[in-house]
Amino acid sequence: MFFRKFYIDLVEGRRRGSFIIFIKLFLFLLSLLYRIVISLRNYLYDKGFLKSKKFNIKVISVGNISWGGTGKTSLVIKLAKSLPDFKIAILVRGYGQDEVDLIKNSLREYSCKVFIGKNRLKILSNLSSDYNLAIFDDGFQYRRVKKDLEIVLVNGREDLRRNFLLPLGKLREPINSLKRADIAIIMHSLNRELESFLKKVNPKLRVFQGRYIPQNLRDLKGEIHSLQNFLNKEIACFSAIGWPEGFLSCLKEAGLLPKLKFIYPDHYQLKEEEFRRIEKKCLSSAITDLIITGKDKARFRFPTRLSLFILEVELKVNPEEEFLNLVRNVPAF
């Protein structure tokens, strides 16, 4: 955990000192090499030297241009719930089992099926003809398949213009890659300056705003609890997601102010001894309620004296009906 946290702090500018300067110089050189490789790959696809295969099924990609915390999985779930007229296959890389569990649990009552694997081309090739829509979770960088709609989410509280490519920064591709996107959703902040910048990069881009609305709390048995019942209680919170600030912001919006905050890197696999330390710290502060995110549910498989609650949120896209109509009516290639 130390090295992951050190790296994240370094990328986000929370590390200082002469030693850090040398590390950043090394990462800058790697970042230049990464840019060359990614730019060459995109050029080969753009010019047709590398081919994207078209399937007889509508394909929608939900992705991002920077790693962590934009809400891709939440949007995939929203789309699956909002498109009841389609028989949907959801294709997930499976990098984080927490995301797979969240999708499956959220869509238990819907006629969707989740397929896991890095080779989305192979999965689509083997799909039954019963499906008429495939949704890629984290699909913007996957170019072996031709998509009918590219949706990209960006964090409205991060400045894309001052960011570097991996591994020095968070960008997975150069900014000009947004030219192949159809829709951008700016998350977490009403950022008109960023919206203008995105439209300069891609004048055809349709830009929407997205935010999470806190709904209620759900315990691990599935029972729903009103947020009002926790307003005057001392609580703790835990997250191991890409952008924990969004989770903390939702708690604040709901009127919940955690006394203790346990923040871990994205996809962190919590060990039992680590959880016991969290449990002990909570109980010693007379706290028995620990609030977590939906993605974090899979990390808590230990018996405990704490009461765990999942903060359930709804992803709102504004203007929503315009966005959903674009998705529903996008023509297949």
Specify whether 192 is located in the same domain as 292. no
Specify whether 233 is located in the same domain as 188. no
Specify whether 323 is located in the same domain as 179. yes
Q: What is the pLDDT of residue 159?
A: 85
- Could you tell me the end-to-end alpha-carbon distance of the chain, in angstroms, rounded to an integer? 44
CA dist., res. 265 & res. 250, Å (int): 19
Specify whether 105 is located in the same domain as 227. no
Number of domains in the chain: 3
Specify whether 239 is located in the same domain as 304. yes
Among residues 267, 278, 268, the alpha carbon closest in space to that of 305 is found at 278
CA dist., res. 153 & res. 175, Å (int): 13
Domain range for 203 is 58-211+317-329
Specify whether 131 is located in the same domain as 236. no
Specify whether 193 is located in the same domain as 221. no
Among residues 236, 276, 280, 285, the alpha carbon closest in space to that of 256 is found at 236
The CATH number of the domain holding residue 111 is: 3.40.50.300
Q: Within a domain: residue 35? A: no
Backbone φ and ψ of 165, nearest 5°: -75, 160
Q: Within a domain: residue 263? A: yes
Specify whether 100 is located in the same domain as 7. no
Q: Within a domain: residue 53? A: no
CA dist., res. 117 & res. 121, Å (int): 10
Specify whether 234 is located in the same domain as 276. yes
Q: What is the pLDDT of residue 2?
A: 67
Q: What is the pLDDT of residue 147?
A: 97
The CATH number of the domain holding residue 250 is: 3.40.50
Q: Within a domain: residue 179? A: yes
Q: What is the pTM of this model?
A: 0.93
pLDDT in tens, the chain (333 residues): 667 778 888 888 788 888 899 999 999 999 999 999 999 999 999 999 999 999 999 999 999 999 877 899 999 999 999 999 999 999 999 776 788 989 999 999 998 999 999 999 999 999 988 899 999 999 999 999 999 999 999 999 888 888 899 999 999 999 999 999 999 999 988 888 999 999 999 999 999 999 999 999 999 999 999 999 999 899 999 999 988 999 999 999 999 999 999 999 888 889 999 999 999 999 999 999 999 999 999 889 899 999 999 999 999 999 999 999 999 998 765
Q: What is the pLDDT of residue 222?
A: 92
Q: Within a domain: residue 42? A: no
Specify whether 101 is located in the same domain as 63. yes
Q: Within a domain: residue 241? A: yes
Q: Within a domain: residue 48? A: no
Q: What is the pLDDT of residue 301?
A: 87
CA dist., res. 327 & res. 147, Å (int): 12
Specify whether 69 is located in the same domain as 142. yes
Specify whether 175 is located in the same domain as 269. no
